[in-house]
Amino acid sequence: MKADETIFLTVAQVAALVGRSERTVMHWRSNGVGPPSQWHGRALLYLRGEVAKWMKQHREQLEKGKMPR
């Protein structure tokens, strides 16, 4: 198992990585366009490897600000 497969990020950490607000990340999640997430108890978390993969797939859109807000 790779390290990225077990490291979790919070909504705030994902928002910082992609350069958007936490509200935008949550909006993406509710519309099914953001990186995959999962609940751990009361915490909504993202696997770091999945976020990196999602960012790579959406790099151009993120750079141009074309992702839905």
Tens place of pLDDT per residue across the chain (69 aa) = 566 668 999 999 999 999 999 999 999 999 999 999 999 999 999 999 999 999 999 998 888 877 766
CA trace torsion 55, 58, 64, 67 (10° rounding)? -100
Q: What is the pLDDT of residue 62?
A: 84
CATH number among 3.40.50.1820, 3.40.50.300, 1.10.3720.10, 1.10.10.10, domain 3-64: 1.10.10.10
Phi-psi region at 19: left, alpha or beta (left = phi > 0; alpha = psi -120 to 50):
left
Its pTM stands at 0.85
CB of 11 closer than 8 Å to CB of 52:
no
Sign of CA dihedral 19, 4, 41, 28: positive
User: Going by DSSP bridges, is the β-strand pair 43-47/8-9 parallel, antiparallel, or unpaired?
Assistant: antiparallel
Sign of CA dihedral 47, 53, 58, 60: positive
Q: What is the pLDDT of residue 4?
A: 61
